[in-house]
Amino acid sequence: MDFVLKGNLCYSEAPERLATLPDGYVVCVGGECRGTFETLPAQYAGLPLVDAGEALVMPGMNDLHLHAPQFAYRGTGMDLELIDWLNTRAYPEESKYADLDYAARAYDHFVDAMRRSATTRFCCFATLHAPATLLLMEKLEAAGLCGYVGKVSMNRYAPETLCELGDRAARDCEVWFVEAEARFAHVKPIITPRFIPSCTDALLRSLGELMRRYGAPLQSHLSENRTEIRWVEQLCPDSAGYADAYDRFGMLTPRTVMAHVVYPEPDEIELLRERGVMVAHCPASNMNIRSGIAPVRRLLKAGVRVGLGTDVAGGQTIDMFRAVTDAVQVSKLYWRLIDQRQRALTLPEAFYLATVGGGAYFGKVGTFAEGYAFDAIVVDDSGLPHPQPMTVAERLERAMYLSGECRITHKYVNGEPVLA
């Protein structure tokens, strides 16, 4: 669709610079932005106009890390740490996705929630079951969303129902990857070793070879929990650290997303920067399952690419507005309790991470600059009455913090309506 969207525009121009344009226009041509305007240029006057009235219009959010099969039990099991949480909550639930009927019912709930959410692009874990993973991708594609879905690979330290035997894990991953790559236009496959403890060296080596053979992206977990880190040290005594345990198999590239990175060593931060890895900061999950507070300011100052993730169901919600405010709040605690040299994130910076920062993983995504993909949401904040005048920037901040009291009325991905 070629059209014009009118409303109170808010978008990032730089990490600390939020642009606002009351009663402004943003133009979509061929699925791309043609810029924002106070007065609509004559050349676009003939395009259809979608008037959002007093609503806020902003870029869609990019969720760099979440687990679709865990959505069904979100908000439960929050008193456990990572390893216990995996064994008592995540693995039993994920085993159910061998049943395609169960997977269909569960994924219908997940996809409907994603369609109505602020998220326009994502990096998502499924399970190791190829048929259920293809079904999830089919449903997300039909919903008009865009992103990556991974068939999880794992062959040790998990229930028998979730351990693939011998060479089967890599072989099944390749068969699934080739089919998914050919079958879907907007939801693409991503290589997904769960994390180092669940993958033998042989499996990691094979998955690294798949990456290189197909030029494939990869997602996994890195330095989420202290117990996990000690476990990796025992499993990989020849590695220089957790990040190096991936790097020796060629898994750290600009097409790699690593979730969490709560306890990176200085040399690991430098390695992530050198390799161009994208870090998915998941503040809610890191709080809920007692992992800690990621040093986001340190990562950003070092030049590491960072975006945000909800990490359902370690995180209790897929609400990316909540991820924005959680990122700000935990950074204040990091500054106050851990390192006062690392100043807290501001709301504009966290908004940038959710839009342009994470959007960079998908290309020119996350803002209304000319040539960027037209991913946009319209947010109705009329349910938040106020007696005093408020700027667009103030309304944006309030919408982030009070997201449950707002409503997303329109949503576009590559200019195509997903919600209207």
Question: What are the boundaries of each domain within the chain?
Answer: 3-60+366-419, 61-361
Strand partners, 376: 59, 412
On whether the pTM is more than 0.85, the answer is: yes
Residues of the chain with pLDDT under 50: none
Superfamily of domain 3-60+366-419: Urease, subunit C, domain 1 (2.30.40.10)
Cβ atoms 319, 309 nearer than 8 A = no
**What is the tens place of the pLDDT at every residue in 162-200?**
999 878 899 999 999 999 999 999 999 999 999 999 999
Which amino acid would we find at residue 287? M
Domain 61-361, CATH 3.20.20.140 — does that match?
yes
The owner of tokens 């750290």 is 252
The tens digit of pLDDT for each residue in 220-272 reads 999 999 999 999 999 999 999 999 999 999 999 999 999 999 999 999 999 99
Alpha carbon dihedral 381, 382, 388, 394, in 10-degree steps, equals 10
The answer to whether 180 touches 113, Cβ cutoff 8 Å, is: no
User: What's the longest Cα–Cα distance across the chain?
Assistant: 66
What is the predicted pLDDT for the residue at 299? Answer: 98
What does the pLDDT read at residue 18? Answer: 97
